[in-house]
Structure 1
Amino acid sequence: MIQLAAPDFSAGLASALEALEAPRVDIPVIQPAEPFLDMAGEDLRRRIFLTESETGESLCLRPEFTIPVCSAHIAQSVATPRRYSYLGQVFRQRREGGNEFYQAGVEDLGEPDEARADARALSEARALIAQFVPGADLSIILGDQSVFEAVVAGLGLPAGWQKRLVHAFGNAQALEAMMARLASPDSAARPDPSVAGFLATEDVAGLEAHIEQVMQETGYSTHASRSPAEIAARLIGKQSLDSTRLSAASLDALKAFLALDVPLDRAASALAGFARDAGLDISGAQQAFKARLDALSERGEDLGAIHWRAAFGRPLDYYTGLVFEVSAGSNNLVLAGGGRYDRMMTLLGAREPIPAVGFSLWLDRIETVRAGK
């Protein structure tokens, strides 16, 4: 296989990353596919290059570094806090550019001061871009999934709807479709006529018996699939979600939140004003948000030069809090992106929760901007 040449500034970038007290880690190119399929999000899942081992194990070419770096950390039982850097090729289908390209970045694991770690990640990403694309006019945008989760929870929606909305965070089209369903639940699909009566009368026992009969008649084994009770519970839950209606006031509040788009030095007051006007208690999320702003200020970052957009997210399912991107160039190319992904560590097998945040740099895009394109 012909090795794609690394950009000429790669050695300097690798040294700069290690100088951040983040020793470089080597990650195999061939990876188990399951963690990426489970946690990376639909946008990345459909672009992964998949293969199989001789034993039938699903494998893939390394599509990104965060998941395998974290998996390696857990497998080696390394103490935290611990920081890692990486630089190497990743492989995934892209709408623009080659399917093989270089990424570099830092994963910051186990730092208990989350505001400090968040600020460090964003600050380091900005500083690296400024160092390797000197003179570029940078655009920095920040979002926060945990604030969105707090707003959705404060609206009093069922847990199932909260999960749906959070899963769609950052996808404007998906969020609009879900909000339309919440505004007009009658437009949702009707249940199958054979089960509609059981659902309408909340006859759980009758529904289970009906499902069991259908499974027997069609030859489905309850040992090889979900049980009638499990299927009934899913149908009832779906019917409940589909019939949920968000009040006009709550829908307006959600729309008002998603419309917030201000410089970061005005973000805390904008968020406080929204919460007050909407009558929502999201004080915990506000405190964490303000702590991050203070940490960024302490690092000397110009908050007026960073933009907070309440609806901004990144197309990876594992993010849980801060998300950000740094862009530059005539085409406003995204050169760096990252965020917080606390839940992923336990999903990957960590025995205890491990706070985690990180960022990645796209070297081919940096090279493009360095060339003045």
Structure 2
Amino acid sequence: MLPAAVADPRDASSLEDALLACFDAAGFTRLNPPILQPADVFLDLSGESIRRRMYLTVDTEGRELCLRPDLTIPVARAVLDEKLPLPAKVSYLGSVFRFRGEGSGEFRQAGVESFGRADIEAADAQILALGLNACAVYGLAQPEIRLGDVGLFAALLEALPLAPALRRRLLKDFGQGRLDTDLTQLAARPQEGAAAHAGVLAALTGADPAAARALITDLLSIAGISTVGGRSVSEIAERFLEQSALDAGGGVSRETGEILSRYLAISGSPDEASARMRALAAEAGIDLSAALGVFDRRTGFLTAYQVNLADVRFSTAFGRPLDYYSGMVFELHDPTGRAAGPLVAGGRYDRLLSRLGAPECVPGVGLAAWVERLAALDLSREAAR
């Protein structure tokens, strides 16, 4: 429910003020990180594919910089740089910059990030509830709720007899819309493919992954290769090493492929999906009890935050196209289809701060709201009156 202070957003000076007041009432303090950011952070955490959508420049010392393409990573860096005590609850509102199919490359984004809470299921539920509140500020009382769980899929992969390279490939592609293709290509993968790269693989056996990637990158550069199909040299090198490791490790067995396919076909309300996942795990003889325990406890907290579970559409195959998510992921959409893309999206990313330099893993969860999409819905609602 909306806090009483912003129950009627029209009483605020603007909808953005009302949105920030909503976040403030929930205990989130606003941060405003710099617009200019180091580019390598986004490339490392979001994948090289984001490079094509970033506004890039270079400083006088040759370091690659960018206009911030989102605010989650800059806010996380600010939490570390400013040494904020944990748990920390922060909010933001500002411009982000990236090439996209719709409208200008500059657009407004608001959101909240929660770092350091040990009660992860309650924190997850609060963030999703705040996303619903953000929609309510703009007059959308019942958005479509899409829910997924990267942590559950990762637990399934760990429980199955898969080579490490296969696990990394499948987890990396979760949320990218490539899992069906992966399973088709990896099923009964022929072993003889490894022979094509046997010499290079033998030379790299036991090598540090970063050193192996650097070697392949150097070889490509010496050969005069800079890009292929839009991929950078580092992307090509990483893809080569991944494919070679997959060739060496074989494919997905028919039995394992069937379990994965059945898992990825599960959808419905959280309670329905939980029952089906437990039944599949029991039938397949795999232990998902810890991950499913987190899932069920979160469902209970969603109810406590007055989220109507009948409005929640959970899908085991649903993810978001960012590498750093580690648990719950969600998107809120306009059920009438007036907005192209999500209005609010977010999820859990427990490894984000440690990948940015924190000495240990820090639980984290947050959301981002596309302010202009929400505002457009509010304007269309007003025009219909």
Decide whether aligned partners of structure 1 residues 112 and 185 sit closer, same or farther in structure 2, where only a CA change above 3 A counts: same
Q: Counterpart in 2 of 1:74?
A: 80
1:80-120, Cα deviation, whole Å (9 max, x unpaired): 01100000000001112221110000000101100010011
Q: Counterpart in 2 of 1:156?
A: 161
Flag structure 1 segments of 5+ consecutive residues without an equivalent: 1-6, 206-210, 222-230
Counterparts of 1:90 and 1:347, CA distance in 2: 22
Q: Counterpart in 2 of 1:308?
A: 314
Q: Is the 8 A contact 1:43 1:316 kept in 2?
A: no
Please tell me whether residue 253 in structure 1 is matched to residue 259 in structure 2.
yes
1:107-149, Cα deviation, whole Å (9 max, x unpaired): 00101100010011001111221232245x4100100001001
Counterparts of 1:16 and 1:203, CA distance in 2: 54
* Between 152-161 and 116-125, the greater mean CA deviation after superposition: 152-161
Counterparts of 2:204 and 2:175, CA distance in 1: 38
Q: Is the 8 A contact 2:197 2:244 kept in 1?
A: no
Q: Is the 8 A contact 2:165 2:246 kept in 1?
A: no
Q: What is the TM-score when the length of structure 1 is the normalising length?
A: 0.84
SS at match of 1:69: helix
Decide whether aligned partners of structure 1 residues 307 and 43 sit closer, same or farther in structure 2, where only a CA change above 3 A counts: farther
The amino acid of 2:107's aligned partner reads F
Q: Counterpart in 1 of 2:355?
A: 347
Corresponding residue to 1:53 among 36, 59, 77: 59
User: Following superposition of structure 1 onto structure 2, how do residues 27-42 of structure 1 map, counting pairs within 5 Å?
Assistant: 27-42=33-48
The amino acid of 1:351's aligned partner reads P
Counterparts of 1:95 and 1:316, CA distance in 2: 18
1:63-95, Cα deviation, whole Å (9 max, x unpaired): 111111111111122210110000000000111
Flag structure 2 segments of 5+ consecutive residues without an equivalent: 1-12, 207-211, 223-236
Q: Counterpart in 2 of 1:208?
A: none
Pairs aligned (count) = 341
Please tell me whether residue 183 in structure 1 is matched to residue 193 in structure 2.
no
Q: Counterpart in 1 of 2:8?
A: none
Q: Counterpart in 2 of 1:108?
A: 114
Rg larger for: 1
Cα-Cα RMSD? 3.0
1:187: Cα distance to partner? Answer: 8.6
1:319-346, Cα deviation, whole Å (9 max, x unpaired): 0111000001532631000000111110
Decide whether aligned partners of structure 1 residues 239 and 16 sit closer, same or farther in structure 2, where only a CA change above 3 A counts: closer
Q: Is the 8 A contact 1:325 1:335 kept in 2?
A: yes
Q: Counterpart in 2 of 1:192?
A: 196
* Between 38-47 and 279-288, the greater mean CA deviation after superposition: 38-47
Counterparts of 2:305 and 2:104, CA distance in 1: 36
1:193: Cα distance to partner? Answer: 7.3
Q: Is the 8 A contact 2:188 2:254 kept in 1?
A: no
Q: Counterpart in 1 of 2:144?
A: 139
1:356: Cα distance to partner? Answer: 0.3
Q: Is the 8 A contact 1:329 1:372 kept in 2?
A: no
Counterparts of 1:58 and 1:160, CA distance in 2: 30
User: Following superposition of structure 1 onto structure 2, how do residues 280-359 of structure 1 map, counting pairs within 5 Å?
Assistant: 280-328=286-334, 330-331=336-337, 333=339, 334-359=342-367
Please tell me whether residue 92 in structure 1 is matched to residue 67 in structure 2.
no
Q: Among the aligned pairs, what percent are the same residue?
A: 34
Counterparts of 1:10 and 1:337, CA distance in 2: 17
Q: Is the 8 A contact 1:74 1:350 kept in 2?
A: yes
1:235: Cα distance to partner? Answer: 6.8
Q: What is the TM-score when the length of structure 2 is the normalising length?
A: 0.81
1:348: Cα distance to partner? Answer: 0.3
SS at match of 1:267: helix
